Amino acid sequence: MKKWLILLLLPVLSACSFVKYSFSGTSIQADVKTITIPYVEYKALRVNPSLSNDLTEALKEKFRKLTRLEQVEMNGDLELVCEITGYDVKATAITANEVAAQNRLTVTVKVEFSNRKYPEDDVSQSFSGYSDYDSTQSLEAVEATLCEEIIEKLCEDIFNATVAQW
């Protein structure tokens, strides 16, 4: 009886090496070992000199913490190429006197994610993150804090769309 059980389970157990597995919510095939995350290019009209570097480092940190992938400079099994295409401030709440009560900073990032081993997992998509602030404050006074919040949201969205495939 035990021999039959072992013989029945053997194909199931051996098939597990070809299946995607999950580590911290990711869906990465076992033979995918490396990722390349080049510097995020800045192509928005309005300039934030530190945003590209901050987003690049945040993405690298997110993938380092939540995956087993080794980060390599070039030719990774996965490649995450991003560019900041929008950095805009707009009024979101108008008072009775037609004055802005609140403003919104929005950052848009275009993402090209390539999986060299499984091209069906490639992603080409734009992501936007925003944060609101009181119009009595200047953008310069709150910009660093707003950008931290936006970067955190963008990293989560990009991570989920690429390797978590949500």
The domains of the chain, with CATH numbers, are 30-164 (3.30.160.150)
Helix (H) or strand (E) holding 127: strand 123-134
Q: Give the pLDDT band of residue 4 (cuts 50, 70, 90).
A: very low
What is the reported pLDDT for 62? 97
- The mean predicted confidence, pLDDT, of the chain is 86
What is the reported pLDDT for 5? 43
CA distance 46 to 28: 36
Residue-wise pLDDT for 19-48, tens only, equals 344 444 567 899 999 999 999 999 999 999
Weakest mean pLDDT among 15-24, 61-70, 123-132, 157-166: 15-24
Please give the model's pTM, rounded to 2 decimal places.
0.81
Which residue do the tokens 């495939």 mark?
Answer: 165
pLDDT at 105 over 50: yes
Selected residue with higher pLDDT from 10 and 69: 69
Strands 70-71 and 100-115: unpaired
The average pLDDT across 97-109 equals 87
Q: Give the pLDDT band of residue 138 (cuts 50, 70, 90).
A: very high
Which two structure tokens, joined as six digits, stand for 41?
């290019």
Range 132-139, long-range pairs (CB < 8 A, 24+ positions): 132/92, 132/102, 132/103, 132/104, 132/105, 133/102, 133/103, 133/104, 133/105, 134/101, 134/102, 134/103, 135/91, 135/99, 135/100, 135/101, 135/102, 135/103, 139/89, 139/103, 139/105
What is the reported pLDDT for 22? 42
pLDDT at 132 over 80: yes
Helix (H, G, I), strand (E, B) or coil at 35: strand
